[in-house]
Amino acid sequence: MQSDGRHDLRRLGELPLSRAESWQEIDRTMSHTLLVFHGFTMNGEVMREALAPVATALEPKVRLVCLNAPHPCSAVTVERMYRGSEPALSAPHLCWWNASDDGLVYRGWEETRDLVREALDRYAPASILGFSQGGILAAAVAALSASGQLPPVHAAVLVAGRKPRAAQLQAAFMEPVPVASLHVWGERDTLTGQYCEELVGAFSAAEREVVRWPGGHVVPTHGPAYDAIVRFVLEHA
């Protein structure tokens, strides 16, 4: 994919001169990181704002690091996503990959994988939380971590995610993923709710938890599901 001046957007909508300049400064007073992967058309700052109650609850033990995906969404995609609904989220509108029509190819996957690898090294020890497309990414990262293809993760929180469909990732899910996982989705989630059970089955039954809540396609920031996320992250930090 050719750069158009936007592909290196990493943090707060900035255009850093190099990847090293894009990393969030590390608070060394906290002993663990929750690395967060935002949803399709979102960005790290929007995700951090959405997770503000979670961040507060995890202090002072766990720091939140909300990465920006490396690829911009097209204007056509953003318009289609938000047509007839609430206003579009704040720019930049980013994605972790662009899937082929059949979902078997994730264009841009390699750049995302390399970005995540660097982040896991930099912010270790870490757990991960992904929402929507970020939940698919978190599932892939957990599976690749378990097989030694990515640095280790302590645990994975998968919110409104689904099992990756890309052909190149299927080998990582041949066996249940032996990483502690918390699967969260809303009972009124009409976008990905029907796929969440399949993702649950891709993880080790001995190490997984499932929480449904009476919400839609968002990350819960109050109530029992929110409490479960905070507890789970702290237990594995």
Q: The CATH number of the domain where 115 resides is what?
A: 3.40.50.1820
Q: Is residue 217 part of a domain?
A: yes
pLDDT at 24: 62
Q: Is residue 42 part of a domain?
A: yes
pLDDT at 14: 30
Q: Is residue 10 part of a domain?
A: no
Number of domains composing the chain = 1
Q: Is residue 147 part of a domain?
A: yes
Q: What is the pLDDT along the chain (237 residues), one digit of tens a residue?
A: 322 223 333 333 332 223 443 456 666 667 899 999 999 999 999 999 999 999 999 999 999 999 999 999 998 888 888 876 666 788 999 999 999 999 999 999 999 999 999 999 999 999 999 999 999 999 999 999 999 999 999 999 999 999 999 999 999 999 999 999 999 999 999 989 999 999 999 999 999 999 999 999 999 999 999 999 999 999 999
pLDDT at 16: 29
Q: Is residue 54 part of a domain?
A: yes
Q: Is residue 8 part of a domain?
A: no
**220 contact partners, CB below 8 Å, separation of at least 6:** 159, 184, 186, 213, 226, 229
Q: Is residue 5 part of a domain?
A: no
Q: Is 17 exposed, middle or buried (0-12, 13-18, 19+ CB in 10 A)?
A: exposed
Q: Is residue 124 part of a domain?
A: yes
pLDDT at 189: 95
| Structural domain span for residue 97 | 19-235
Structure tokens at 155: 């645990």
Assessment of whether the complete model's pTM goes beyond 0.85 = yes
